[in-house]
Amino acid sequence: MNDPMIKAEELTRKFGDFTAVDHISFEVGAGEIFGFLGANGAGKTTAMRMLTGLLVPTEGEATVAGYDVYKQPEQIKKRIGYMSQKFSLYEDLTVRENIRLYGGIYDLGDQQIKQKSDELVNMLGMNELQNKMIGSLPLGWKQKLAFSVALLHEPDIVFLDEPTGGVDPITRRQFWEQIYKVAEEGTTVFVTTHYMDEAEYCDRVSIMVDGNIDALDTPAGLKEEFEADDIEEVFIRLARGAERGE
Amino acid sequence: MKPISVHNTHKSYGAKEAVKGISFEVHEGELFGLIGPDGAGKTTIFRILTTLLKPDGGEASVLGLDVVDGYREIRKVVGYMPGRFSLYQDLSVEENVKFFASVFGTTVDANYDLIKPIYSQLEPFKDRLAGALSGGMKQKLALSCALIHKPEVLFLDEPTTGVDAVSRKEFWQMLHRLKEENITILVSTPYMDEAEQCDRVALMQDGQILSIDTPERITKTFNNKLWAIKTENKYQLIQLLRSYKYAESVQPFGEYVHYTDKREEVQAEQIMEYLKSKGVINPTVVAIAPDIEDTFMRLMEQEENYE
């Protein structure tokens, strides 16, 4: 892989005696859709926090978009987008206000923010909704908008933490088409999910168990290796051996 | 007398109509699922049936007791596990169970047999604060507390949301064991694949019921031939199928794309020929039986077209 977007080597994080992430090594290539799976408590969130520059590792090395997680967390934050189901947009701001807020946070100029807002509202077909409060929009709309806002500053990588939880099956699939589209355009996508069918949409998938990456391959490769019909079967076989909970 | 009976029930929050005239019945000892995304109205129905919220209109009863007039009696005989973890985080596992037992005027020992298969897994951690438990263990504790007074009807609002695939599987195994105790269970989930674990389900969307029946019979209502198609590049495949003039619906589904065609009669070869004509090498096209998720999407699409 030339110039991987994410490169982790023996990346480790301990909390007291507890090793949340235990010497994980992996690479994610540019434009790749990388599925980051694991049971509750396997260490996914801790790993993601290190890769997004929010948490300093205890040991090991990692670079994200070419920047070092120890020395350059602020540069990392500028080059990544982040979206989760739990936190994304401000409910009591309108669609346009949310876009403006994030544009400001990411240091875009006024002119650029205006242009981006128009583009985004058009692309999502939200012209009639642009002055509505986010809180009044259906969940599916919020999620599509949150995803677009996470991409507002044209990041190299976007981290999606369970982006589709609770969404209806059609909207969930529309969301994945958005993901395909940005990956096709070259953005790297790092995504966690509890929907095992979504793991099949990824180029490669890793499965964390008890702080380690126990499997990492293409969905087809994993199924072959574990002689399983689907990723759910692979996941259950690996995660059933887990020792620890959340 | 049905354990749960809901007839033309309405509920609005301000201008937002959350439940739009819903009717269904749950039989004794049945495991009945409300399946649908966030915002479908599932939690509102739970709150109405557990007497925490008054309906605006329609009738709803639990064990023959009206949810408004009979709320005191209903509260004694039902168990409720809300969607959000609502045990006392700063009480230990054991203290929580004891507390809920005493609220219902019973003891842990009196009903230990019922909760044993679930609670025994938590007993090694009985002194741990509930707030310090893992997701899967919290879920088991919440279920133990909801069962501590041996309820006749059990309400479980999204017990598996945000829980990993292994814990989800275990949770359903627990529910099947409870069903054998003849407890009537109403459970909700946004995971379509969990519908198959229920005796009957109501598929819900936007405050309405799209369909009620056994999962098997619901999938039989899927009124077109369904194809599973696979090629090297899924995104390209989706685009190609979308621009196919005969395409009716195109939905990614795991490693395949599920496709229905507008033509009355269509053969796999015809779809394959089209894809090959667009430069796709070796497409796989097979006819498959639809599952609940396929059917749910089809019902949603029909609903939208109708509107």
CB B296 within 8 A of CB B35: yes
Instruction: Please give the pLDDT value at position A146.
Output: 93
Answer whether B255 sits within 8 Å of A200, measured CB to CB: yes
CB B134 within 8 A of CB B106: no
Answer whether A40 sits within 8 Å of B135, measured CB to CB: yes
Q: What is the CATH number of the domain that holds B234?
A: 3.30.70.920
CB pairs under 8 A between A and B: 97
Q: Assign B135 to helix, strand or coil.
A: helix
Domain that holds residue B273: 223-289
Q: Does B254 touch chain A (CB under 8 A)?
A: yes
Q: Does domain A6-239 have CATH number 1.20.1260.10?
A: no
Q: Does B23 touch chain A (CB under 8 A)?
A: no
B133 vs A contacts (CB less than 8 Å): 245-246
- CA atoms of B278 and B289, how far apart (whole Å): 27
pLDDT confidence tier of residue A246, bands split at 50, 70 and 90: very low
Interface test with chain B among A32, A36, A40, by most B beta carbons within 10 Å: A40
Q: Which of A139, A176, A183 sits opposite B38 (nearest CB)?
A: A139
Hey, CA dihedral for A125, A127, A130, A136, is it positive or negative?
negative
ipTM of this complex prediction, to 2 decimal places = 0.84
pLDDT confidence tier of residue A243, bands split at 50, 70 and 90: low
Instruction: Per residue of chain B (307 residues), give pLDDT as tens.
Output: 899 999 999 999 998 899 999 999 999 999 999 999 988 999 999 999 999 999 999 999 999 999 999 999 999 999 999 988 889 999 999 999 999 999 999 999 999 999 998 999 899 999 999 999 877 888 899 999 999 999 999 999 999 887 888 888 889 999 999 999 999 999 999 999 899 999 999 999 999 999 999 999 999 999 999 999 999 888 899 999 999 999 999 999 988 999 999 998 999 999 999 999 999 999 999 999 999 999 999 999 888 765 4
Instruction: Please give the pLDDT value at position A194.
Output: 85
Q: Are residues B190 and B105 in the same domain?
A: yes
Q: Are residues B190 and B264 in the same domain?
A: no
Q: Are residues B253 and B167 in the same domain?
A: no
Picking from B201, B202, B188, B205, the residue whose alpha carbon sits closest to that of residue B306 is: B205
Is residue B294 included in any domain, yes or no?
no
Q: Does A166 touch chain B (CB under 8 A)?
A: yes
Q: Give the count of beta carbons closer than 10 Å to the beta carbon of residue A184.
A: 14
pLDDT confidence tier of residue A8, bands split at 50, 70 and 90: very high
Angle between helices B165-180 and A231-239 (to 10 degrees): 80
Name the B residues in 276-305 with CB < 8 Å from any A CB: 293, 296-297, 300-301
- CA atoms of B201 and A10, how far apart (whole Å): 47
Q: Are residues B76 and B141 in the same domain?
A: yes
Q: Are residues B231 and B205 in the same domain?
A: no
DSSP A133: B
A139 vs B contacts (CB less than 8 Å): 37-39
Is residue B195 included in any domain, yes or no?
yes
Instruction: Please give the pLDDT value at position B307.
Output: 45
Q: Domain boundary at B182, B214, B246, which?
A: B214
Token readout for A129 is 């909704």
DSSP A160: E
Mean pLDDT within A118-128? 91
Is residue B297 included in any domain, yes or no?
no
Is residue B165 included in any domain, yes or no?
yes
Is residue B295 included in any domain, yes or no?
no
Least confident of A72-81, A126-135, B64-73: A126-135
Q: Domains of chain A: which residue ranges?
A: 6-239
Q: Assign B116 to helix, strand or coil.
A: helix
Q: Does A180 touch chain B (CB under 8 A)?
A: yes
Backbone torsion region of residue A16, taken as left when φ is above 0, otherwise alpha when ψ lies between -120 and 50, otherwise beta = left
Count the domains in chain B. Answer: 2
Starting at the edge strand that comes first in sequence, how are the strands of the sheet with B16-26 ordered? Answer: B16-26, B4-13, B57-62, B65-66
Which tens digit of pLDDT belongs to each residue from A10-35?
999 999 999 999 999 999 999 999 99
Q: Domain boundary at B192, B214, B236, which?
A: B214
Q: Does B234 touch chain A (CB under 8 A)?
A: yes
Q: Are residues B63 and B88 in the same domain?
A: yes
Q: Does B213 touch chain A (CB under 8 A)?
A: no
Q: Are residues B263 and B135 in the same domain?
A: no
Name the B residues in 143-182 with CB < 8 Å from any A CB: 161-167, 169
Answer whether B235 sits within 8 Å of A244, measured CB to CB: no
Answer whether A139 sits within 8 Å of B37, measured CB to CB: yes
Picking from B132, B62, B130, the residue whose alpha carbon sits closest to that of residue B96 is: B130
Mean pLDDT within A195-224? 94
- What percent of chain A has pLDDT above 90? 78
Answer whether A168 sits within 8 Å of B136, measured CB to CB: no
Q: Are residues B31 and B131 in the same domain?
A: yes
Interface test with chain A among B43, B140, B164, by most A beta carbons within 10 Å: B164
Phi–psi pair at B127, nearest 5 degrees: -95, -5
Answer whether B39 sits within 8 Å of A242, measured CB to CB: no
B234 vs A contacts (CB less than 8 Å): 180, 201
Q: Are residues B26 and B74 in the same domain?
A: yes
Tokens 């064991």 belong to which residue? B177
- CA atoms of A34 and A222, how far apart (whole Å): 14
pLDDT confidence tier of residue A3, bands split at 50, 70 and 90: confident
Q: Does A224 touch chain B (CB under 8 A)?
A: no
Determine the residue type at A64: V
Instruction: Please give the pLDDT value at position A46.
Output: 94
Q: Are residues B89 and B149 in the same domain?
A: yes
- Alpha carbon of A91: minimum distance to chain B alpha carbons (Å): 16
Is residue B56 included in any domain, yes or no?
yes
Answer whether B165 sits within 8 Å of A168, measured CB to CB: no
Q: Does A181 touch chain B (CB under 8 A)?
A: yes
Q: Are residues B186 and B227 in the same domain?
A: no
Q: Domain boundary at B196, B214, B232, which?
A: B214
Instruction: Please give the pLDDT value at position B305.
Output: 62
Q: Does A229 touch chain B (CB under 8 A)?
A: no
Q: Does A131 touch chain B (CB under 8 A)?
A: no
Minimum Cα–Cα distance from B136: chain A residue? A245
Q: Assign B197 to helix, strand or coil.
A: helix
Q: Are residues B89 and B8 in the same domain?
A: yes
Residue B263, C-beta contacts closer than 8 angstroms, at least 6 positions apart: B246
Is residue B301 included in any domain, yes or no?
no
- CA atoms of A173 and A154, how far apart (whole Å): 23
Q: Assign A120 to helix, strand or coil.
A: helix
R_g of chain A computed on alpha carbons: 18
Is residue B89 included in any domain, yes or no?
yes
DSSP A40: T
- State the burial class of residue B95 (Cβ atoms within 10 Å of its Cβ: 0-12, 13-18, 19+): middle
Phi–psi pair at A121, nearest 5 degrees: -60, -40
DSSP A72: -
Minimum Cα–Cα distance from A165: chain B residue? B162
Q: What is the CATH number of the domain that holds B185?
A: 3.40.50.300
